[in-house]
Amino acid sequence: MTEQDIQKLIDRVAETRDLFTFDQFIRHWAAKSPGRAAIDSDDLQLTYAELEQATARVASALLAMGLKKGDRIAWFGKNSGTYFTLFFGAARAGIVMTPVGWRLAEPEAAFIIDNAEAKVLFLGDGFEACKDTLGQRPGLIACLSSAEARKLIAEAPRSDFTPSETHDAVLQLYTSGTTGNPKGAVLSNDNLFGLRKAAFDNPQPYNLWGEDEAVLVAMPCAHIGGTGLGIMALAAGLPGVVLAEFDPPKVFDAVMNKGVTRFFIVPAALQMLLNHPDCAKTDFSNLKYILYGAAPIPLELLRQCIAMFGAGFIQAYGMTETTGTICMLPPEDHTVEGNQRMRSAGKPLPGVEIEVRGADGTVLPVGEIGEICTRSSNNMLGYWKLPDATASTMKDGWVATGDVGYLDEDGYVYIYDRAKDMIISGGENVYPAEVESGIYGHPDVLEVAVIGVPDEKWGEAVKAVCVPKPGHTIDADSVIGWARERLAGFKVPKTIDVIEALPRNASGKILRRELRAPYWAGYDRQVN
């Protein structure tokens, strides 16, 4: 891309640098690009002019029901254009959307609906039967099916409303913790849009958008990796192509026939794309960037992806509490021969501060391992009605991520693992991600997760749980030998288990607790 091309992209988006609310973006793009597609999904298709009208009707209808700024609504269903229209419309008036993971059991979904104190529940297509169960939660004043919601979007009378302000909450995402009840992270307009101004002051090709682009939403909307991509499309004034759920043939179709130029995905889903027989038949020439997160990309997988997709790869590191991405590893740091920086999560985005702190809260020097802490406009407002949990996570404007890692001399962030996943074996700290990195690349191993299991001698022993590549058989001694060549002795797995698939939550994170549970059954103390 030439400097002239980059300048054209900068000029295109410069007029939006001071927009920080959903209402501002929707009105801007409706005026500037009224006929451009805004939402493209199986259930709903809207131009930006139509989106402005539809979301205004949503805001008006919710206010007419008696809701006010700060009240919550909830969505239980798969990704859809209906969901995004309801969310954007509610956000215009400062009413907070709470998307609920559709894979949750009804008691889990009920907890979130009740905890959020949702006034209205919307049920996605295929979830209408939940009206007799979830639709009867005591705090609800209404429960609408997706068909009823689309009727509201099309026909509700428009009235005047006061737009939300930058500091107002608009989204409440529940964390995917593996223990205890989930916590609602409250996010504001400024959380979702605040870093854009700093990005404009430090333009990079992959942070700029051409008029010929489209964004694919394929990850679950109950997570920032799903809803966040829909917001990204809106901010850029581009079509958001929404898939109900991740499905390789539909991803291929979106790239070939709907102009998709970039999407977000987890490495495990990337592997699924590669393994699908239709992948080799798909023309990926329009694809510009693939964003991935939740885990580093194994080198061999990167090589296969570059050969197949030909796109630039961008690793995104963040969490719900930081409104998604706060660090990024850009395409130029991804090389087919591999490099040290590919083990990192990249560098902080413009406007984001990162510190590594010791157990006593002191800032550690370059290269020393501690907890990753961050400060930016992306940091959540707090956990919904959990002041103690908020106070333990947020101090003086900083969020303690719970991730263990270090900074190098160039400012790159290296994540070892979640602090709670650390294994203590013979007094030595072992971080699962480091061991997994040492095993990745073994010719028979597709995926691996490392856990600590009880050991009479060492307290905990390192165990690797491996998934074989299709058509391959895993030999435990071979994997252990492979790891021994790449890791310190105390980090090498003592034992290997082989399973068909790793347990994951809806956002793609490995559920280590499920893997550990059988080995710690009957023990008074369980390692978390």
Which run of H or of E encompasses 57?
Answer: helix 48-64
Report which DSSP code applies to 341: G
Tell me the two tokens of residue 311: 């796109």
All residues at 6 or more sequence positions from 528 whose CB lies less than 8 Å from its CB, including other chains: 179, 420, 421, 513
Full set of structural domains in the chain with CATH: 21-34+44-190 (3.40.50.12780), 422-520 (3.30.300.30)
Residue 345 structure tokens: 């999560």
Per-residue tokens: 83:
């969901």
C-alpha closest to that of 479 among 493, 461, 458? 493
In the three-class reduction of DSSP (H, G, I as helix; E, B as strand; rest coil), residue 472 is classed as: coil
| Contact assessment for residue 220 and residue 243, using Cβ atoms and an 8 Å cutoff | no
Using one digit for the tens of pLDDT, what is the confidence trace for 272-310? 899 999 999 999 999 999 999 866 677 788 889 988 999
Token code pair at residue 432: 């699962």
CA distance readout (Å), 12 to 16, 209, 210, 235 = 9, 8, 8, 12
* Tokens describing residue 192: 């979702």
Per-residue pLDDT of the chain (528 residues; tens, 9 = 90+): 677 777 777 777 778 888 999 999 999 999 999 999 999 999 999 999 999 999 999 999 999 999 999 999 999 999 999 999 999 999 999 999 999 999 888 888 999 999 999 999 999 999 999 999 999 999 999 999 999 999 999 999 999 999 999 999 999 999 854 445 789 999 999 999 999 888 878 777 787 788 899 999 999 999 899 999 999 999 999 999 999 999 999 999 999 999 999 999 888 788 889 999 999 999 999 999 999 986 667 778 888 998 899 999 999 999 899 999 999 999 999 988 888 888 889 999 999 999 999 989 999 999 999 999 999 999 999 999 999 999 999 999 999 998 889 999 999 999 876 666 778 787 677 878 778 988 988 999 999 999 999 887 787 899 999 999 999 999 999 999 999 888 878 889 999 999 999 999 877 888 888 998 899 887 744 443
**Average of per-residue pLDDT values in the chain:** 91
